[in-house]
Amino acid sequence: MAYRKWNWQKEEWPNFSYNPEALKSLEYQFMKANGIALGAFKHVQNDEKDELLIEILVNEALKTSEIEGEYLDRDSVQESIKKNLGLESTKRKLPAAEFGISEMMVDLYQSFNKPLTNNRLFQWHTMLTNGRRDLMDIGRYRTHKDPMQVVSGRLDKQTVHYEAPPSETMKKEMEAFVLWYNRVHEQNDETMLPLARAGITHFYFLAIHPFEDGNGRIARGLSEKSISLSIQRPALISLSQMIEAKKKDYYAFLEAHNTTLDLTKWLLYYGQTILDAQDNTLKIIEFLIEKAKFFDRFSNQLNERQTKAIKRIFNAGHEGFKGGLSAENYMRIVKTSASTATRDLKDLVDKGILLKTGELKSSRYWLALDKKYKT
């Protein structure tokens, strides 16, 4: 196989380039969507704002881990997020992995406007690797002499997709990265627009691959911090949720740029992913507003069982209750008989609270909100 020169081996490293004109439309859409989301957020009630924050942070913690093949328990992550935010005090011992990623997500949210430092990166790495015993370097940059490679395939027939700079250069590489990051995020620096800053941040950090493990999760966190700095408030987007939905594209675009410093195509992909994450947040905000309106209108028309079931449907979020609500689901949620469930559901349909589809055992019930909120 012909020798490949990785991007960091080129004389111009780490001077990445891109075509600003190609990103112009995406940058405009980003700023427009940011204004719309900010306007909509003002109509969210205070208690719903905490719900929005928790949902975004929980989704991000779960999905950024899933991208790396680590599947965490949602309830434990949610409890950890609430505890780290000071919204809930629990005596239950929380799993190390769930608590660690939650701690990092909350710190990202709370310290978004603080300059980046090596020590903060070390703190995030320590949080991420909470409970790990298999790593040599925790809370510090890697020191192992073996090449840091991204590989796939059998041990006896591996494909090297990328090889990062050697460990001995980590101090120098990361000093340059932190200096660059803080410089391009200065408020008076308008040489680089938000999507370009966030996309290059993610790619640049991953290209260095400074830690023994956790690089992807920290890279995604850094790009979300970048977006927050650009809009001067916590971004509240679940970027990893969008990436995980099309994970193959993510890895393909990363690999396609391992030997070049021109990041135009990567930034087009990453910029669109950020826009998708913005749109998802806007849907959540609109859903929370509709939820508040719903209970203002109907709360005094619901019995205790119906209230419990409706809250359970709303808890599924704007993407809807998977498969719709069945009579069996209703019975299980509120712990009632078949005849009572049938009577309660018919009453909800008659009042225009639920819509019914199908017949007999195939009957399913959906919240009678605008159709954009239903699956």
Residue 361 and residue 217 share a domain: no
Q: What is the pLDDT of residue 375?
A: 37
Dist. CA 196–CA 233, nearest whole Å: 18
- In the chain, the N- to C-terminal Cα span, in Å, equals 49
Q: What's the total number of domains in the chain?
A: 2
Residues 6 or more apart whose CB falls under 8 angstroms from that of 322 comprise 316, 375
Nearest to 314 by CA among 282, 292, 337: 292
Residue 175 and residue 104 share a domain: yes
Assess contact for 20 and 193: CB atoms under 8 A. yes
Asked if residue 144 belongs to a domain, the reply is yes
Q: What is the pLDDT of residue 320?
A: 67
Residue 281 and residue 312 share a domain: no
Q: What is the pLDDT of residue 373?
A: 36
Residue 92 and residue 185 share a domain: yes
Assess contact for 43 and 289: CB atoms under 8 A. yes
Residue 333 and residue 197 share a domain: no
Residue 186 and residue 331 share a domain: no
Dist. CA 337–CA 344, nearest whole Å: 11
What are phi and psi for residue 236, nearest 5 degrees? 50, 55
Q: What's the domain range around 264? A: 7-286
Q: What is the pLDDT of residue 346?
A: 96
Residue 48 and residue 146 share a domain: yes
Residue 367 and residue 263 share a domain: no
Counting every residue written for the chain, the total comes to 375
Show pLDDT as tens, one digit a residue, over the chain (375 residues).
Answer: 446 799 999 999 999 999 999 999 999 999 999 999 999 988 888 888 998 999 999 999 999 999 999 999 999 999 999 999 999 877 788 999 999 999 999 999 999 999 999 999 999 999 999 999 999 999 999 999 999 999 988 878 889 999 999 999 999 999 999 999 999 999 777 789 999 999 999 999 999 999 999 999 999 999 999 999 999 999 999 899 999 999 999 999 999 999 999 999 999 999 999 999 999 999 989 888 888 888 889 989 999 999 999 998 888 777 667 788 999 999 999 999 999 999 999 999 999 999 999 998 899 999 887 443 333
Residue 39 and residue 106 share a domain: yes
